[in-house]
Amino acid sequence: MKPRRVAVLATFILIAGCSWFRTHGIKLTMTNQSSAPIQNLEFDFPGGSFGITSLAPGASLERWFIPTATSNLKVIFKDPTGVHTIMLQTVSAKQSGEMTLRFVGNAKVMTELKPLSAH
């Protein structure tokens, strides 16, 4: 076999092999579709949490998190109607996917979780 073909074949095998060992986790996109800022936002997941001070109307934010156990997701936030705690979907350890979290006003949060896999 020619050296160039060997190099191309080796590169292909390396790329295919690396995709097998991808990092588990969920890409979260939060969007404020309301007319007021979302304040003191806290997002809790199995294994951790994070927070932001404010999410302006029309603004979006992306975060990556890795669930370490099976449990519900939770979001705590303040809007013009008060402070709210909302339980979201259940996720499992090492689950992968994409989640959208849309704040639509009047303490309502719309969610969608597109799982890629759960191991």
- State both tokens at 118: 């759960």
Q: Which residues pair with 64 in a beta bridge?
A: 27
pLDDT per position in the chain (119 positions), as tens? 566 666 656 666 655 555 555 578 999 999 999 999 999 999 999 999 999 999 999 999 999 999 999 999 999 999 999 999 999 999 999 889 999 999 999 999 999 988 775 45
- State both tokens at 54: 């404010």
In the CATH scheme, what is the code of domain 24-117? 2.60.40.2890
Domain ranges of the chain: 24-117
- Count other Cβ atoms within 10 Å, centred on residue 39: 14
Residue 24's pLDDT is what? 82
Element (H, E) at 79: strand 71-79
The pTM of this model reads 0.76
